[in-house]
């Protein structure tokens, strides 16, 4: 479960665990929240940037080593930097698009195809 240690991701992670699944929750930057989530739920947490192919591949290999094959992949990670006024800066928009859109394909590419080369952005 990408973005699985807070908000909707935390709720879905907990529901999957309650349903009997082995769950791995990923996060990007909030170590304290991830540690609290792990302590409260017993769900393993892993830190990586889902917009980075190499980090996705390495992180998913670690999850597989710890928990076994990945049967279900939930792409939940996301950032919200949208602001209604004034228009977003080009840099903020680029960060949003870089994380939100390609990241869904990176984990899918790892789980469903051999690791040869990262998908084109």
Phi-psi region of 76 (alpha: psi -120 to 50; beta: other; left: phi over 0): alpha
Domain extents in the chain: 7-112
pLDDT of residue 56: 86
Would you tell me how many other CB atoms lie within 10 Å of the CB of residue 58? Answer: 14
Mean predicted lDDT score pLDDT of the chain: 79
Contact by Cβ (8 Å): 67, 24: yes
pLDDT of residue 63: 94
Q: 18-72: per-residue pLDDT in tens?
A: 999 999 999 998 999 999 999 999 999 999 988 888 888 899 999 999 999 888 8
pLDDT of residue 35: 97
Architecture of domain 7-112: 3-Layer(aba) Sandwich (3.40)
């Amino acid at each position: 479960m990408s973005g699985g240690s807070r908000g909707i991701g935390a709720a879905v992670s907990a529901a999957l665990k309650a349903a009997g699944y082995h769950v791995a929750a990923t996060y990007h930057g909030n170590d304290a929240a991830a540690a609290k989530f792990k302590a409260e739920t017993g769900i393993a947490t892993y830190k990586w940037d889902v917009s980075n192919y190499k980090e996705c591949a390495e992180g998913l290999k670690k999850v597989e080593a710890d928990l076994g094959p990945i049967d279900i992949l939930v792409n939940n990670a996301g950032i919200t930097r949208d602001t209604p006024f004034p228009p977003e800066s080009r840099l903020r928009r680029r960060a949003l698009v870089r994380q939100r859109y390609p990241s869904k394909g990176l984990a899918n590419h790892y789980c469903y195809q051999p690791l040869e080369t990262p998908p084109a952005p």
